[in-house]
Amino acid sequence: MLFRCPHCGDRDHTEFSYLREFDPDAADDTQFRHVYLRRNEIGAHREIWQHVYGCRTVFVLERDTVTHAVHG
């Protein structure tokens, strides 16, 4: 998989670390739901990654959990 880092551009996925799935309600919800529950969707998945072996930017990525196709 190739990921597009907002800072560095296209880099191999092994340079990145998966942090967690993107949670649109993170700010205004109970801590339990945010910490423990996951939608764990099959198919299109918005998730947060960090370019740990590069510029260390944290960004949101849309990736398909069945085909591994990466969008933006």
Positions that interact with another protein (CB under 8 A): 1, 13-14, 17-18, 20-21, 32-33, 35-42, 45, 47, 63, 65-68
Q: Tokens for 44, please give them.
A: 């299109």
Closest CA to 21 of 38, 33, 35, 5: 38
* Cα dihedral: 34, 68, 9, 62 (round 10): -40
Q: Which is nearer to another protein, 27 or 35 (CB)?
A: 35
Minimum distance from CB of 68 to another protein (Å)? 6
Q: Tokens for 72, please give them.
A: 């933006």
Minimum distance from CB of 7 to another protein (Å)? 20
Minimum distance from CB of 2 to another protein (Å)? 11
